[in-house]
């Protein structure tokens, strides 16, 4: 009985760290997909014929997509070139690690996430 209790006490912290790490990786992956979607929305607005507004409208759309997910981008770069040339949107975000406060030495830890989407302008 005592041996099982000692083994359980040694294994539980590692098991919890593994499970919480998997959950954090899933959150980071979801955030990366949201950044990619926002960059895609913004660059699509630049690539297709649209009303006047250009990069301002595209930036606003990307910010709207990010805001709907509760994300504030640290850096949003819109490269708007001439017709039939590529247009590009880059979004950078510092992903906060939720369990950083529980692990010594990881206070306020962040993971930099970046997404860049490029499309050729259609007009």
Q: Which domains does the chain have, with CATH numbers?
A: 2-120 (3.30.1300)
Residue-wise pLDDT for 4-42, tens only, equals 899 999 999 899 888 988 998 999 999 999 999 888 888
Q: What is the mean pLDDT of the chain?
A: 81
- pLDDT value at 54 more than 70: no
Structure-token pair, residue 89: 């949107």
What pTM was computed for the model? 0.76
In contact, 98 and 82? CB cutoff 8 Å: no
- pLDDT value at 69 more than 80: no
- pLDDT value at 86 more than 90: no
């Amino acid at each position: 009985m005592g041996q099982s209790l000692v083994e359980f006490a040694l294994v539980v912290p590692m098991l919890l760290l593994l499970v919480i790490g998997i959950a954090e990786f899933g959150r980071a992956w979801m955030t990366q997909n949201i950044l990619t979607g926002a960059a895609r929305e913004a660059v699509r607005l630049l690539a297709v014929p649209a009303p006047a507004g250009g990069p301002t409208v595209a930036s606003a759309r990307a910010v709207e997509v990010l805001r709907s997910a509760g994300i504030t981008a640290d850096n949003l770069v819109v490269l708007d070139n001439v017709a039939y040339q590529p247009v590009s949107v880059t979004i950078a975000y510092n992903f906060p690690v939720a369990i950083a406060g529980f692990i010594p030495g990881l206070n306020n830890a962040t993971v930099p996430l970046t997404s860049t989407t490029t499309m050729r302008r259609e007009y």
